[in-house]
Amino acid sequence: MKKDIIIPVVSLLVICLVCSALLGGVNALTKDTIEQRAAQDIIDAQGVLIPADSYKEENIDGTAYSTALDADGNVIGYIFTTSSNGYGGAIKLMTGISADGEVTGISLLEINETPGLGMKAKNESFLQQFVGADDTINVVKEAVTADNTVQAITSATITTKAVTAAVNKAIGLYNAVKEANVNG
């Protein structure tokens, strides 16, 4: 009787230990590659959002951002990384804002929304709605008729509001940077 219980328990324990060791090994082997890929994705996104000769990493209110500079060192824009909670968890994105305060584009870094619904936030037609905004952006369900307004993704209003909230955070950070530059 004891033998009927002990052998399966020990076998299961050995299987679990072997699987855990294998998963740990795979994680150790791929960790650096994943980190390098994430860093390269950020560099690539910066170049798309605001093409510049260089980027200067800065910090405001505990939040890091990049200042895009031309060849002469003049500021041509800013890139802010922000996040907000969507239906499927945190949505992390980068927002490019020109020196005069207009959104030049957004790039989604992390999103895990419902396939077929919330993942439509990755569509270029949705992302392009933010370009040109220069103040707090509002979400509407009907067709867009006003500036600084985006149309919600059908059946994915939570995702739309989360992306919009993250972009609005970036606009707020831009305003804080501009204020600091005027007063500083």
Q: What is the DSSP annotation of the chain? A: -HHHHHHHHHHHHHHHHHHHHHHHHHHHHHHHHHHHHHHHHHHHHHHHHS--SEEEEEEETTEEEEEEE-TTS-EEEEEEEEEEEETTEEEEEEEEEETTS-EEEEEEEE----TTTGGGGGSHHHHGGGTT--S--EEESS---STTEEEPPTT-HHHHHHHHHHHHHHHHHHHHHHHHHHH-
pTM value?
Answer: 0.80
**Position 118 confidence tier, pLDDT thresholds 50, 70, 90:** confident
- 150 compared with 95, residue with greater pLDDT: 95
pLDDT at 153 over 80: yes
Phi first, then psi: give them for residue 116, nearest 5 degrees: 85, -20
**Position 1 confidence tier, pLDDT thresholds 50, 70, 90:** low
Q: To the nearest whole percent, how much of the chain has pLDDT over 70?
A: 98
In the prediction, which pLDDT does 130 show? 92
Tokens (6 digits) for 86: 């969507």
The residue among 160, 170, 161, 107 whose CA lies nearest residue 133 is 170
pLDDT at 180 over 70: yes
Please state, rounded to an integer, the average pLDDT across all residues of the chain: 88
Distance CA 148, CA 129 (A): 9
To 10 degrees, the CA torsion angle through 68, 126, 117, 137? 80
Q: Is 76 exposed, middle or buried (0-12, 13-18, 19+ CB in 10 A)?
A: middle
Distance CA 21, CA 27 (A): 10
pLDDT at 182 over 70: yes
